[in-house]
Amino acid sequence: MPKEKGAALVVVLAVLAISLMLGLTGLQSALVSHQLAGNYHDASLARIGAETAVAHAYATDPQLMASDAFVDVDRGVVEALTWATFTDGYTAFGGQFQHNADQGNKVAYAYRRFRIEGTDYLVGLGAVLSSSNTTIAQSRFVYAALEELSSPPTARKIRSWH
C-alpha cells in the first residue's frame, strides 16, 4: 500500500487535463460557429440590399424606357466588379439603411442599368459597410431582366429575376 501514495492525485490531474482540453476545444468550436453565423448574417443583409436596389430602381427610375440609359456590357465584366467599382461615380443610384447602429455598420445598395446580350437589365448590388465605409460583406449581383409591355408602349415589366 505505501507504493500507491499519490496515485489518486495523478489520476485526478489526468482527468482534469482531459476535461480542460475538451472544454477548450468546445470553446474554439463555439467561436468559429459564432463567426460563421455573423458572416452569414452580413451576407444575407447584403443580399437584401441588392434586392432593395432593384426594387427601388424599378419603382423610381425615370430612365427605364430610355434605350440610351443602358450600357452595353458583357456579363463577365459585371461579375468582376466590386462594391467600390460598381458604385464609383454612381452614388445617386442607391441608398442605405442602418444596421447594427451601435457599431456604426450600415447596409448600402446601388443599381446600374446594363444591356447584356441584347437584353436590358437592372443590376443591383448590396454591401454591409463599416462606419469608415470599408466593405464588410458584398452580395452577389441581382439581375432583373426588363421587357416592354405591349400596352402601354411606354412601360416595362420585370421578366425574370435572378
Q: What domain count does the chain have?
A: 1
pLDDT value, residue 32: 95
Q: Quickly count: other Cβ atoms within 10 Å of residue 96's Cβ.
A: 15
3-state SS string for 66-114: CHHHCEECCHHHHHCCCHHHHHCCCCCCEEEEECCCCCCCEEEEEEEEE
**What is the rounded CA–CA span in Å between residue 28 and residue 65?**
55
pLDDT value, residue 50: 93
Instruction: Write out the three cell numbers for 156.
Output: 416595362
**Domain range for 157:** 2-161
**152: pLDDT strictly greater than 90:** no
pLDDT value, residue 116: 93
**146: pLDDT strictly greater than 70:** yes
Distance of CA 56 to the CA centre of its chain: 17
pTM given for the model: 0.77
pLDDT range class, residue 1, cuts 50, 70, 90: low
